């Protein structure tokens, strides 16, 4: 996953408030991912895909037997795993149950961040190092608060450039409005994001070959359907599982998240991508909305060193200029894209790409250069094996 995070921790907590407390305490050390409601199978699967070596398990009097059994089951399956119990520090019975089940330590809810981080540092020194899978495909996220078709337009073109570089590429379009990446190319799909979440354990090369929509250049597209649940209702654990599987089958994934409201699921994408392109324009109102989310994430300790600012519909004669925007966001500007309203409108209305419609236009050239820059991240990765269905069709 992203190199900007040193570790990934898993946690089963009573509620979102407890999870946020733990995430804030461990923000300097890495990312805390919710492991759902306490299913042993789900926890073990997440350990496998996150390479986590430390798990937090919340205990309470009403469910302590089942929670202790979960700790015992996890340690039986993964003896090198370190488990830290969470609970009421004044309840000695919970502490005893945790220790008997095999927990390495016990942390009281609401403990000072320095105490929790110190404990994790001490435990981490005694744990065997875990090497993440460096063969996972690259993951680029395009995010901004504004909701319009241009987010899908840009993501579509960048992903096509990466695909044309010879890498098997997926465009995961979760931007709002839904499904614009398909509509822009005049495509339809019978297999969507919600289907992929439901069938994550069945996702293999054969299913991807047969079910994922494909455009002319070979780019695969997986998009929101109108009846899919909103991103806020998708758990971080489900997303982590899906992303891990998809990154085994694609050398690069471009994710469009423009227009999405803040949520735990959105933060999961942002924290685990290799490159975050923060999408904005010179509209001061939209800039304020973007900065409100950005500042909130920074206050919560989210590491955003991998973020670059992408300024769209840029007009040199209009304030704020690119330097001012870069300083306001505290980010390096990766590109400024020209306004070109006629070219954009024709591309949207005619269902053709800018590469076909206006290959020499400044906007087209900028998107091509941006896509080529993204492609360099994953150009050295091994090409995933084709499924039998793809080979039968003679696809490259």
This model's pTM is above 0.85: yes
The structural domains of the chain, with segments of one domain joined by +, span: 7-126, 138-388
Per the document, the length of the chain is: 396
What was the pLDDT predicted at 315? 97
Confirm if 280 and 310 have CB atoms less than 8 A apart.
yes
What was the pLDDT predicted at 95? 93
What was the pLDDT predicted at 6? 59
Token look-up 């946690």 returns 11
Give the list of residues 6+ apart from residue 334 with CB closer than 8 angstroms, or none. 277, 308, 309, 310, 370, 373
Token look-up 């149950």 returns 97
Residues of the chain with pLDDT under 50: 1-5, 387-396
Q: 311: which strand partners?
A: 280, 336
CA-to-CA dists, residue 57 to 18, 71, 77, 86, 392, angstroms: 11, 8, 16, 6, 47
Q: What is the CATH number of domain 7-126?
A: 3.40.50.2300
Integer Cα distance of 143 and 331 in angstroms: 14
Strand pairing class (220-223; 105-108)? unpaired
Q: Report CA 131 to chain centroid distance, whole Å.
A: 20
What was the pLDDT predicted at 131? 55
What was the pLDDT predicted at 294? 98
Integer Cα distance of 229 and 242 in angstroms: 15
Say if 7-126 and 138-388 have the same CATH topology: yes
Integer Cα distance of 361 and 358 in angstroms: 5
CA-to-CA dists, residue 262 to 154, 259, 265, 296, 389, angstroms: 21, 9, 8, 10, 39
What was the pLDDT predicted at 391? 42
Q: What is the CATH number of domain 138-388?
A: 3.40.50.300
């Amino acid at each position: 996953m992203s190199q900007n995070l040193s570790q990934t921790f898993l946690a089963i907590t009573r509620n979102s408030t407890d999870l946020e407390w733990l995430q804030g305490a461990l923000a300097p050390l890495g990312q805390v991912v919710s492991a759902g409601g306490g299913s042993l199978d789900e926890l073990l699967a997440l350990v496998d895909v996150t390479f986590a070596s430390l798990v937090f398990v919340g205990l309470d009097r009403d469910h302590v037997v089942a929670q202790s059994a979960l700790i015992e089951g996890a340690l039986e399956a993964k003896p090198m795993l370190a488990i830290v119990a969470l609970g009421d520090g004044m309840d000695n019975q919970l502490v005893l149950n945790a220790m008997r089940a095999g927990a390495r330590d016990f942390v009281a809810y609401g403990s000072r961040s320095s105490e929790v981080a110190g404990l994790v540092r001490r435990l981490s020194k005694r744990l065997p190092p875990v090497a993440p899978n460096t063969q996972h495909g690259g993951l680029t996220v395009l995010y901004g608060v504004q909701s319009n078709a241009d987010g899908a337009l840009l993501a579509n073109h960048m992903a096509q450039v990466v695909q044309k570089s010879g890498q098997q590429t997926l465009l995961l379009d979760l931007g709002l409005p839904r499904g614009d990446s398909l509509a822009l190319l005049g495509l339809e799909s019978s297999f969507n994001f919600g289907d992929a979440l439901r069938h994550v354990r069945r996702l293999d090369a054969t299913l991807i070959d047969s079910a994922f929509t494909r455009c002319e250049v070979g780019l695969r597209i997986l998009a929101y359907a109108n009846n899919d649940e909103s991103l806020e209702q998708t758990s971080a654990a489900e997303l982590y599982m899906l992303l891990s599987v998809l990154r085994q089958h694609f050398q690069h994934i471009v994710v469009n998240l423009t227009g999405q409201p803040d949520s735990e699921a959105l933060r999961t994408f942002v924290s685990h991508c290799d490159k975050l392109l923060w999408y904005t324009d010179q509209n001061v109102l939209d800039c304020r909305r973007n900065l409100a989310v950005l500042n909130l994430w920074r206050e919560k300790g989210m590491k955003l060193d991998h973020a670059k600012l992408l300024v769209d519909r840029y007009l040199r004669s209009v304030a704020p200029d690119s330097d001012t925007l870069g300083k306001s966001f505290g980010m390096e500007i990766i590109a400024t894209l020209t306004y070109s309203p006629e070219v954009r409108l024709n591309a949207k209305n005619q269902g053709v790409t800018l590469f076909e419609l206006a290959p020499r236009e400044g906007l087209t050239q900028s998107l091509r250069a941006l896509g080529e820059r993204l492609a360099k991240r994953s150009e050295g990765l091994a090409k995933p094996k084709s499924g039998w269905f793809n080979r039968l069709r003679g696809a490259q």
